[in-house]
A = this chain, B = another copy of it.
Amino acid sequence: MLDRSCIEAIDPLLEILDGKWTLPLLLELFVGTKRFGELRRRLDPISPKTLTDRLRLLEEKGIITRTQYSGVPLHVEYEPTERGWNLQPIFAAMWAWVQENSLSDKHGTEKIALT
């Protein structure tokens, strides 16, 4: 169960997942290892700056690896680490929620309790 101790504890995770493109980016890498240019095309219209910002952060946090291949033309591949793959259940839970709860975009039904 969830209790108060979770509230501060999940902070490091929020730092990792924060930012406009982070979740779609991670989903792309869960689908399969990808190169910089491919990510850029798939996440269009992301800017290269934002993409590198995200990739660097995720790398620093140990969520993905960057592997550089020499050859012509030079290329680089990104893929999740084990820590990264371990995030999958979170995405699966999000996906499940969307499936079951997202169809109707309910609007707030305000209650007024009479005492």
Residues of A at the B interface (CB closer than 8 Å) are 2-4, 6-7, 9-10, 12-14, 23-24, 27-28, 30-31, 59-62, 65-71, 83, 86-98, 100-102, 105-115
Contact = CB atoms under 8 A, between A and B. Distances in A.
A86 B101 contact: yes
A31 B12 contact: no
Query: Most chain-B Cβ atoms within 10 A of its Cβ — which of A9, A95, A115?
Result: A95
Contacts of A112: 67-68, 70
10 contacts: A2-B31, A4-B31, A10-B23, A59-B110, A65-B109, A66-B111, A68-B111, A86-B101, A89-B97, A90-B90
B97 A93 contact: no
